């Protein structure tokens, strides 16, 4: 399993930060009707219950936004991905359709309120560290182009920044060729509900992505 650690600077600012990590082999498919049946059923149940204020008050979303502010980033301008997905669902737009691995990750995110990183593990070089983004640090977000990651929580490997709870990067994006998957659930509320989200993710990976050689840990 890829070695992951949280840098001391970030730990000192937000001691409750925990990571739920899942690494496994997967089969990535562009179309997965059974998964989308599950996603659509969930959205049908939830979209009428959600509005922007209720989303902001979800404990997992609220704690993430508080964490952003503490670190130094405005979460209204750089929304955590879970909040963005939930707001999309609440507006009736549903989820993006990418591939089975990304789509199931998004289902875990909207069901839990946790922002989740999904990475092609084969594109990661060496140890992973979660730290704080620096001024002018290069980062190309998926569908966002160059992203200002200063003061964002940022995952880095030997080649530099590759992930954040606002937007993952093109370098480690999950494409149809991905066979080794790394999922990292960021919890700014400690262990609360983290294992539950991990269990749901593992069940979806097994059911819809033929996941095997599954390894999990909480950091």
Domains of the chain in start order, with CATH, are 4-218 (3.50.40.10)
Whole-number pLDDT of residue 145: 81
> What is the per-residue pLDDT for 48?
82
Tell me the DSSP string of 123-146. G--S-EEEEE--TT---EETTTEE
pLDDT at 202: 98
| pLDDT > 70: percent of the chain | 100
CB distance 72 to 198 below 8 Å: no
Given a cut of 50, the residues of the chain with pLDDT beneath it are none
Q: What is the pTM of this model?
A: 0.95
Residue 143, pLDDT score = 82
CA–CA distance, 169 with 172 (Å, rounded to integer):
6
Distance CA 198, CA 211 (A): 14
pLDDT tens digits, residue range 53-80? 999 999 999 999 999 999 999 998 999 9
Angle between the N-to-C axes of helices 81-90 and 100-112, in degrees from 0 to 180, rounded to the nearest 10: 90
C-alpha separations of 20 from 24, 40, 127, 175, 188 in Å: 14, 25, 16, 22, 11
pLDDT at 76: 87
């Amino acid at each position: 399993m890829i070695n992951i650690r949280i840098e001391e600077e970030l730990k000192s600012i937000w001691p409750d930060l925990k990571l739920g990590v899942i690494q496994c082999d997967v089969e990535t498919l562009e179309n997965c009707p059974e998964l989308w049946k599950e996603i659509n059923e969930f959205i049908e149940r939830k979209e009428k219950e959600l509005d922007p204020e209720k989303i902001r008050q979800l404990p997992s979303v609220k704690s993430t936004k508080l964490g952003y502010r503490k670190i130094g980033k405005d979460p209204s301008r750089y929304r955590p991905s879970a909040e963005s997905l939930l707001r999309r669902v609440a507006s009736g737009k549903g989820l993006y359709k990418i591939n089975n691995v990304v789509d199931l990750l998004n289902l875990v995110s909207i069901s839990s309120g946790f922002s989740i990183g999904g990475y092609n593990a084969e594109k990661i070089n060496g140890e992973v560290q979660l730290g704080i983004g620096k001024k002018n640090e290069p980062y190309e977000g998926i569908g966002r182009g160059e992203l200002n990651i200063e003061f964002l929580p940022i995952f880095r490997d030997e080649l530099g920044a590759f992930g954040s709870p606002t937007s993952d990067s093109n370098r480690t994006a999950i494409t149809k060729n991905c066979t080794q998957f790394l999922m990292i659930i960021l919890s700014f509320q400690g262990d609360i509900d983290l294992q539950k989200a991990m269990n749901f993710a593992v069940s979806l990976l097994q059911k819809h992505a033929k996941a095997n050689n599954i390894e999990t840990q909480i950091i």
